[in-house]
Amino acid sequence: MTIDAIVKGLEDVDAEARKKIMERSGEACALYGSLPIAKRIAEETTDLDEILTRANDEIPWCGKWEREGDSISATCHDCGCPLVQSEVVNLTGTFCYCSVGWVRTIFKTLLRRPVEVELEKAIGLGDDMCKYNVDF
């Protein structure tokens, strides 16, 4: 498939450029998918517990978002990418960074402030699960 060829071609660029390109792809995915839901939630509440409850209920994702001190995390036992789930693309480590951009875009919108996102574990990188941490 074309997208798989593009992602495979990214293996020829340095790791930082590859991550940046895929994160931008995830930002675009959020813009055309769940971002309107995140905007609505952010307009209706500023309570973090309510934001997380509503995000878990209203925004499709592969795991449950939970607060851990000054961060939020989710663990997924299956890939959360709709393109991977629908077999449009094959899961690769490179493709995992797309979700980092998606998570960053959703949470900076939900929380109305910049956030940092760490991909602690990823199925596409050989781990048995994905774990995303959002620091705010």
Domain edges within the chain: 15-135
pLDDT band at residue 67 under the 50/70/90 scheme: very high
Compare 72 and 4 and report the one with higher pLDDT: 72
Cα of first residue to Cα of last residue in the chain, in angstroms, is 37
- pLDDT for the residue numbered 94: 84
- pLDDT for the residue numbered 1: 58
CATH topology of domain 15-135: H-NOX domain (3.90.1520)
pLDDT digits (tens, 9 = 90+) for 86-113: 888 888 888 889 999 999 999 999 999 9
Q: What is the pTM of this model?
A: 0.91
pLDDT digits (tens, 9 = 90+) for 2-48: 777 887 788 888 989 999 999 999 999 999 889 999 999 999 999 99
Looking up tokens 């949470």 gives 107
Q: Please enumerate in sequence order all residues whose Cβ is within 8 A of that of 105, keeping only pairs 6 or more positions apart, or say none.
A: 26, 27, 30, 31, 35
